[in-house]
A and B are shown apart, each in its own frame.
Chain A
Amino acid sequence: MMQNSNPSEIVGQIARHQTRLRGLVRCLLVRSSDVEDVLQEINSVLWEKANEFQAGTDFWAWSSQIARFKALNHIRKYSRDRLVFDDKLLNELADLAYKRLSQLDHRREALEGCLNELPPPQRQLIDLRYAGGHAIEAIAEIIGRPQASIRQTLYRVRQALLACIEAKLQSEGGAT
């Protein structure tokens, strides 16, 4: 007979899957600043539905379905006053995201190494954008370069990080 999961196990599972849940939500939202709100809502729903989760079954399979449904619902609400992707693209992005999410934890580990290998000026840009939470205009002011140039360099740094992550995963045999 199937058994319901206990609360501390569910909390542990939710915590363990934050990276993937966040990744899934990010792939569906235009604005990164909306991610936390949607993720918070998903966590609350997972917690409320904890009784429905059967211990010993695949938590990710269960939670990701709820997360996808909840995120799409949220996005429909957002569509009244914010920029959102249309439904067709959203579903395609969600399908693509699922394929990548299974190895997201490996990617995260690889990213840490890749960040440490960045040349200092590139690392500084990434720190200003993500650790400092600065908008492009602010970074342009701090560094004294045009916004377009900052945006272009950031894109190149992100490309370099993606290539570095792929290379690390390949060398460790972790890529699928």
Chain B
Amino acid sequence: MSSKTRFVELMSRMLDDAISDEELAELQTLAEADPTLRSQLVDHLLLDSLLDENLGQEPLTALVDLIGESSDPLIPTAQVPTSIRTHSGTSSTVPTRRWPWMSGWLMLAASLLFVVSFFTLKGNREAYAKATQIVRAAMHTHAAPIERIYVVDVKRGETNDPRFEFPRNVRVATQGDRFWVQMRGYREWAWGRNEQGAIWMTLGPQRAVVVNPNEMGIPLRYIGDLYTLNLETLLQTFLKHCRLEMSDGPADSTIIVATPRRQWSNRPLQRATIEVDRETKAIRKLVIEREFEHASSISTFTLVDSRLADDSLYGPEGHLSEPYRIFSNETSATRRRELVTNWFGPTSDQWMKILENQPNE
């Protein structure tokens, strides 16, 4: 096999996201040795980018999306995602030279299949574009300084560890990409996450602890995964990595079902269903089906209230009364775990793990 033929084979595999380590090394060697092959590679990569942009379902990125929704006259219409493309002027003749193995009947069947799939694809693209528009509108609505409160119901799959018992009354307040959670059960407490992914939680009216991501035990990680509601990130994920299907919902709402695309791996999300109010574009209900390493779950967030956002509640300070103390990195993990266990009881002793070489130990 000539090096050019091999290069074409490897480049095709790369463009189709199916290249291995060894093949990539081989592709690099060939490209480095021959400037015409490098040039060919760039041509194909740029074409791939244009095809993705023209036909693909990837939206423009967040910044552009949000501004685009505001109908900024500075943004040319050519920059609007081009998922809706009419397909005109194509020949209806199936070129037999390309498909020599087809008999007449097969040709007819294939043509019919093509006609059906063509209109299905076109219809799908249009439906997808509408669904995308609604998700973007919801993002826009939830970026406003209005806090929305959702009641959360969690159903756990059979694979779940029965040791995890969570309070029945959980409310999540969210604004933009921020959230905080109120848990009512044996104890009433609030928690949220900071920008580094650490969980803060209140232990009564005058104490709170901060648990870093690497200190979280499985139960706390699970709580965090189930109730975390970074709406903006979540909706971005739907736009970037999911197929979207739209249908009419109850009482002037639109239902959008988001299913991860095959190429998107390493995610717990199995499916999400959102019910968007047609008038306000607020999310009335959100159902997230997820498969974690040791457990599956369905979390349902139902909108129950809206109010002006109070920034202080998105950190522990807003939930505490003076004089209060927040125990974070400067307090040893052992001490923080002790505080957590004292407040929630012995079943919470696995919420924090103590790392070897823990500073301040």
List chain A positions with a Cβ less than 8 A from chain B. Answer: 8-9, 11-12, 14-16, 18-19, 22-23, 25-27, 30-33, 35-36, 39-40, 43-44, 47, 83, 85-86, 88-89, 92-93, 96-97, 100-101, 104, 107-108, 111-112, 115-124, 126-136, 138, 151-152, 154-155, 158, 161-162, 165
Contacts and interface: CB of A to CB of B under 8 A. Distances in A.
Most central of B14, B15, B264 by chain A CB within 10 Å: B15
Interface stretch (B52-60, B192-200, B307-315, B351-359): B52-60
Given A11-B67, A43-B64, A130 B44 contact: no
A152 B17 contact: no
Cβ-closest 7 pairs across A and B? A12-B74, A26-B49, A130-B55, A40-B61, A131-B55, A15-B75, A96-B42
Interface stretch (B87-95, B145-153, B317-325): B87-95
Q: Which of under 10, 10 to 19, 20 to 34, or 35 or more describes the interface residues of B?
A: 35 or more
B28 interface: yes
Given A40-B62, A121-B95, A124-B117, A116 B89 contact: yes
Contact of A120 (B8, B58, B92): B92
Contact of A8 (B72, B110, B118, B262): B72
B116 to A, nearest CB: 11
B336 interface: no
Nearest to B64: A15
B1 interface: no
A118 B50 contact: no
Contact of A32 (B28, B42, B52, B94): B52
Contacts of B8: 155
B279 interface: no
B74 A158 contact: no
Contacts of A96: 38-39, 42
B17 A89 contact: no
Interface stretch (B18-26, B133-141, B208-216, B284-292): B18-26
B51 A126 contact: yes
Nearest to A94: B42
Contact of A9 (B17, B68, B74): B74
